[in-house]
């Protein structure tokens, strides 16, 4: 049923009146996240998803797409997995919801916390649950500030993060995000959030020198934590040099600054290890996670803290911890998370991510050898990117007006492949994060379409 056809142009009319009506209703009533409202009004729905199976999505017109982004970097085990639907149904019938406030608890929440503690490195053993990545990062920031406050250091409030980093859209996570476009809507909290240069097109030494300078200029005694993604996703799949995070860890230790790893994209096998930082055997003080923990089947996220932090909380946090979401530790979400992790482990998807990521990178390299506008290509597990440049030898970019990466994305879309471009600061990056269940033939299919799409745009540019 989900054989990949991959051709054809979206035709909003073939579904007839019912489809037209849905598109009109969408314009009228659905305020979409991270979407141009103007474009929505003028052009309507880009893709009206109807169903999903494996790495494929099908729209209302019956056209099939390869979901080469796992939707929003999150559908690790692929679409249409009945095991998760069955688990959710069984849990909902038994205990759909029950609170975790005021020491109430339930088995799915306890078991998932235990499981995540086992998977997380070394002494990261205590989990606070949320419903997604932004809530997780806001919670982590509040938890580390609380950690310092109860130790008599209330001035340690500042968060240092990286330029081009993305940490979400809640209050603190928007401010921690290092992509200024996200501050335009309602500002950011300038007094408490700072950004150092990301290790992109720079050596570890340069990036660490910049971070040290930031710590020094802000005053280390006022910094609660450094926050970074192991691999920046929304920033353009920027993979740091192998020694970068080892040096980050050392620097944080030198200044007594906590290190929060935002593993929202990189967690649960995306980069070929269970957590992204495990690629470099670096252990942070705090991990935030979401997305892959349930493969997106149901909203869930969380924060894992080290025993050292947990012990301070146990000893010094008096009274109620006034932080908690209604859905912190939601039993149905927790049951789905447990089943999802069971499937990731049983089906060897972390290993498959590593292997298929290698194939994806080989394919990228073949394209780079053949097409002159392809610059750097990179992948760690199934998180990869292809950078397009006017002159890859001198790193000369195309102008923004040429919209090179968005045009490639459009070509891919027409061919039935969904992926995403990043164009901040004069870059043209095509990002890939296919489901971890992908096989070699399907990787080749993506590579073929990518080759055709970049070739087409390269021709148009001549
Ligand atoms: N952190 C990272 C690294 C992300 O990529 C995202 C979302 O893409 C978030 C945090 C925010 O997660 P959510 O959209 O679930 O709030």
pLDDT confidence of residue 13:
43
* Closest CA relative to residue 87, chosen from 111, 118, 55: 111
pLDDT confidence of residue 90:
98
Q: CB of 290 closer than 6 A to ligand 1? A: yes
Residue 126 CA to ligand 1 centre (angstroms): 21
Most ligand 1 atoms within 8 A of CB, residue of 236, 291, 327 to mutate: 291
Residue 408 CA to ligand 1 centre (angstroms): 24
Q: CB of 457 closer than 6 A to ligand 1? A: no
Residue with tokens 């482990």: 345
Residue 459 CA to ligand 1 centre (angstroms): 36
Q: Are strands 301-306 and 417-418 parallel, antiparallel or unpaired?
A: unpaired
Most ligand 1 atoms within 8 A of CB, residue of 69, 70, 133, 433 to mutate: 133
What's the DSSP call for residue 222? G
Q: Please report which helix (H) or strand (E) contains residue 27, including its range.
A: helix 16-29
Q: CB of 54 closer than 6 A to ligand 1? A: no
pLDDT confidence of residue 294:
99
pLDDT confidence of residue 17:
77
Long-range Cβ pairs for the range 412-415 (8 Å, 24+) = 412/68, 412/449, 412/450, 412/453, 413/10, 413/46, 413/47, 413/65, 414/8, 414/9, 415/6, 415/7, 415/449, 415/452, 415/453
Summarised one tens digit per residue, pLDDT across range 282-301 is 999 999 999 999 999 999 99
pLDDT confidence of residue 65:
98
Residue 33 and residue 132: Cα distance in Å, rounded?
14
Summarised one tens digit per residue, pLDDT across range 353-407 is 999 999 999 999 999 999 999 999 999 999 999 999 999 999 999 999 999 999 9
Most ligand 1 atoms within 8 A of CB, residue of 172, 175, 264 to mutate: 264
Number of Cβ within a 10 Å radius of residue 54: 20
Summarised one tens digit per residue, pLDDT across range 11-23 is 444 557 777 799 9
Residue 368 CA to ligand 1 centre (angstroms): 30
- What backbone torsions phi and psi does residue 132 show, to the nearest 5 degrees? 175, -175
Q: Are strands 383-388 and 374-380 parallel, antiparallel or unpaired?
A: antiparallel
Which residues of the chain register pLDDT less than 70?
1-15
Q: CB of 265 closer than 6 A to ligand 1? A: yes
Residue 92 and residue 74: Cα distance in Å, rounded?
23
* Closest CA relative to residue 457, chosen from 417, 398, 416: 398
Summarised one tens digit per residue, pLDDT across range 68-83 is 999 999 999 999 999 9
In Å, the largest CA–CA distance within the chain is: 68
Strands of 383-388's sheet, edge to edge?
Answer: 374-380, 383-388, 429-432, 420-422
pLDDT confidence of residue 20:
79
């Amino acid at each position: 049923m989900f054989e990949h056809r991959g051709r054809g142009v979206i035709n909003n009319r073939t579904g007839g009146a019912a489809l037209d009506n849905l598109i009109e209703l969408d314009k009228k009533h659905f305020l979409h996240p991270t979407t141009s409202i103007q474009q929505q009004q003028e052009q309507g729905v880009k893709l009206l998803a109807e169903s999903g199976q494996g790495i494929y999505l099908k729209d209302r017109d019956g056209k099939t797409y390869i979901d080469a982004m796992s939707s929003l970097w999150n559908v690790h085990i692929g679409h249409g997995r009945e095991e998760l639907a069955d688990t959710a149904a069984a849990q909902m019938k038994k205990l759909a919801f029950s609170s975790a406030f005021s020491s109430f608890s339930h088995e799915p929440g306890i078991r998932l916390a235990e499981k995540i503690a086992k998977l997380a490195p070394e002494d990261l053993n205590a989990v606070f649950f949320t419903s997604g990545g932004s809530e997780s990062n806001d919670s982590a920031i509040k938890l580390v500030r609380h950690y310092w406050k109860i130790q008599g250091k209330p001035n340690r409030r500042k968060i240092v993060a990286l330029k081009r980093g993305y940490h979400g859209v809640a209050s603190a996570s928007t401010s921690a995000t290092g992509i200024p476009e996200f501050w335009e809507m309602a500002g950011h909290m300038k007094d408490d959030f700072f950004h150092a240069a990301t290790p992109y097109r720079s050596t570890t030494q340069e990036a660490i020198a910049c971070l040290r300078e930031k710590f020094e200029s802000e005053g280390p005694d006022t910094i609660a934590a450094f926050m970074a993604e192991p691999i920046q996703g929304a920033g353009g799949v920027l993979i740091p040099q192998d020694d970068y995070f080892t040096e980050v860890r050392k620097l944080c230790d030198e200044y007594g600054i906590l290190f929060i790893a935002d593993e929202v994209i990189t967690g649960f096998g995306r980069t070929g290890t269970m957590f992204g930082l495990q690629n470099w055997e670096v252990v942070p003080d705090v991990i935030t996670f979401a997305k892959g923990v349930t493969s997106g089947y149901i909203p869930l996220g969380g924060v894992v803290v080290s025993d050292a932090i947990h012990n301070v909380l146990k000893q010094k946090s008096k009274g109620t911890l006034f932080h908690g979401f209604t859905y912190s530790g939601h039993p149905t979400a927790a049951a789905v998370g447990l089943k999802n992790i069971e499937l990731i482990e049983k089906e060897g998807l972390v290993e498959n991510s590593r292997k298929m990521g290698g194939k994806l990178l080989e394919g990228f390299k073949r394209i780079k050898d053949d097409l002159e506008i392809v610059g750097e290509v990179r992948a760690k597990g199934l998180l990869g990117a292809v950078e397009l440049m006017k002159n890859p030898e001198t790193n000369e970019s195309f102008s923004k007006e040429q919209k090179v990466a968005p045009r490639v994305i459009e070509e891919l879309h027409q061919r039935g492949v969904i992926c995403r471009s990043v164009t901040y600061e004069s870059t043209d990056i095509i990002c890939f994060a296919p489901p971890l269940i992908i096989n070699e033939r399907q990787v080749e299919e993506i590579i073929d379409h990518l080759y055709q799409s970049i070739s087409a745009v390269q021709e148009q540019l001549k």
